[in-house]
Amino acid sequence: MFRAVLIEKDEQGYRAKVAELPESRLPEGDVVVDVEYSTLNYKDGLAITGKGPVVRSFPMVPGIDFAGVVRSSSDPAFAPGDRVVLNGWGVGEQHWGGLAQQAKVKGDWLIKLPASMPSRRAMIIGTAGYTAMLCIMALERHGIRPGSGDVLVTGAGGGVGSIAIMLLKKLGFRVVASTGRPEERPYLEALGAAEIIDRASLSEPGKPLQKERWIAAVDSVGSHTLANVCASTKADGAVAACGMAQGLDLHASVAPFILRGVALFGINSVTPPKAERVEAWDRLASLLTASDLEQTALDIGLNEVVASAARLMSGQVRGRTVVDVNK
């Protein structure tokens, strides 16, 4: 038996609860993992509260990422005792996910954790931090360097934003952070933000081409915010888009792209090639220390997940929510 957050939908409605389940109910897969830590991401919040059509089949165990130890494997790439991490691959949406004490998944979805990365630290980073690293790697491939100019981070108080600020600061960039919570200024400055701007300046419809303000941006917000971010990006700059907190829509102009040569990169953190996943986690392990990450972490147990998901969706959570599935 193992404990898990279980989402059910039937004639009685949509509900999420912690349940005790037999191992025989685990889905198909070739690697069984004893999960140690998972996280609570925005997508998990949508799934647990039912505020977004995230879950594709029911019942579902949410949790789009996890870190733990291999219990058994029929995949030759993994052996019992291997420490592994998973991000994405439809886990928590189409396939039972990480907010559970056990998970059974395809070996292709896993990578081994860097030797220096404990499971809890990996989940302070989680899919949010992993996505932030993928964004920065995309900007670097475009030629963005610390001397190129400021880098904007939207949704700065969230999981992606918090880790993005930290990583960019570590790499030598001057970071501008956009937030709707002015009380978070000390937190964002401690992470490495040199300048704080009000998200209201970006969140409404704006002009198609605006004053050049930053050379690059990491955007987890989407909608009007992303359009304004692009419109304010300097010539030959780049924007990495990875989220939709404001919305999936994008009412933008082609002007920044054809008049300034701005590049817009969509970041796929769900199914990137294995080599890219390994590179991202290796760089995260080398750049972020335990002391760096603790200031972003909120630890909860499995029984607190459902209530915490509601707080997350109402904007009451900052940084990274780490779930000890054995508590």
Confidence at residue 327, expressed as pLDDT on a 0 to 100 scale: 92
Work out whether the CA dihedral 50, 56, 58, 63 comes out positive or negative: negative
The mean pLDDT of 90-97, rounded to a whole number, is 97
For residue 253, pLDDT over 90 is answered with yes
CATH superfamily, with its number, for domain 2-113+296-324? Medium-chain alcohol dehydrogenases, catalytic domain (3.90.180.10)
Instruction: For residue range 3-27, list pLDDT tens digits in order.
Output: 999 999 999 899 999 999 999 999 9
Q: Are 204 and 231 in contact (CB under 8 A)?
A: no
Instruction: For residue range 38-87, list pLDDT tens digits in order.
Output: 999 989 999 999 998 899 999 999 999 999 999 999 999 999 999 999 99
Q: Against a cut of 0.85, is the pTM above it?
A: yes
CATH superfamily, with its number, for domain 127-266? NAD(P)-binding Rossmann-like Domain (3.40.50.720)
Return the beta strands (E) in the chain as ranges.
2-10, 13-21, 31-39, 65-73, 83-87, 102-105, 110-112, 151-153, 175-179, 193-198, 214-219, 233-241, 263-266, 297-301, 320-324
For residue 103, pLDDT over 90 is answered with yes
Residue 243 CA to residue 238 CA, distance in Å, equals 16
CB atoms inside a 10 Å sphere around CB 1: 10
Domain segments of the chain: what residues? 2-113+296-324, 127-266
Q: For the chain, how long is the longest CA-to-CA vector?
A: 60
In the chain, the amino acid numbered 123 is M
